Chain A
Amino acid sequence: SAVISQKPSRDICQRGTSLTIQCQVDSQVTMMFWYRQQPGQSLTLIATANQGSEATYESGFVIDKFPISRPNLTFSTLTVSNMSPEDSSIYLCSVVPLAGAYTDTQYFGPGTRLTVL
């Protein structure tokens, strides 16, 4: 399966600042997604990262708060803007690979653990 890396792996940020999280895949993928996992909770889809166009956001998530870029088939960024303590979560990217055992389902990166003070 695709090898997915995320940077940073964790960060502690001040209220009101922004953090950009990077997701890099070692092979081309069809789809890339961004999820949020609040403490002790399940995964919630933030948006689908579309290559070369605006991301598709789920209900409750907006571009101004979570701008996303996907300039090519192997890289995407998620920015958490104007952060508050409620944004403290694990942020995960996932991909649907072009090749491998399961080419139509999602594999997850290691996550970025964000704490906002």
Chain B
Amino acid sequence: GQQLNQSPQSMFIQEGEDVSMNCTSSSIFNTWLWYKQDPGEGPVLLIALYKAGELTSNGRLTAQFGITRKDSFLNISASIPSDVGIYFCAGQLRGGSNYKLTFGKGTLLTVNP
């Protein structure tokens, strides 16, 4: 089955630093999603990308859908303590009634104030 490789597994950064994480796939997706999960909570959708090459921002977050449709990255600028959590990428093949997601293993972000 499809697998997503998400890196890095964990990051320890100082408040104010920028963060970058990425996902690569062995196969093509036509949607890439980035979620954040806080401890004890469900994942929250941060950004959805629908077109190859698309670059989308949401506040301090920027994500891109790779041209090959097999990868995506997420950048967080000027990190703050509330950015702490686990970030998951997910790939989706949309079409008909297919909404299934394939998740990466997550990136655990720790921000030192």
Contacts and interface: CB of A to CB of B under 8 A. Distances in A.
Interface in A101-117: 102, 104-111, 113
Contacts of B101: 43, 45, 105-106
User: How many interface residues does chain B have, given as a range?
Assistant: 20 to 34
A113 B40 contact: yes
Contact of B42 (A33, A41, A110): A110
Contacts of B104: 42
- Interface range, A side: 20 to 34
Nearest to A31: B99
Contacts of B42: 4, 92, 108-111
Contacts of A1: 45
Nearest to B44: A108
Contacts of B94: 104
A96 interface: yes
Contacts of B105: 41-42
Given A110-B41, A111-B40, 14 more contacts: A1-B45, A4-B42, A31-B97, A31-B99, A42-B105, A43-B103, A45-B101, A96-B99, A104-B94, A104-B99, A105-B45, A105-B92, A105-B101, A108-B44
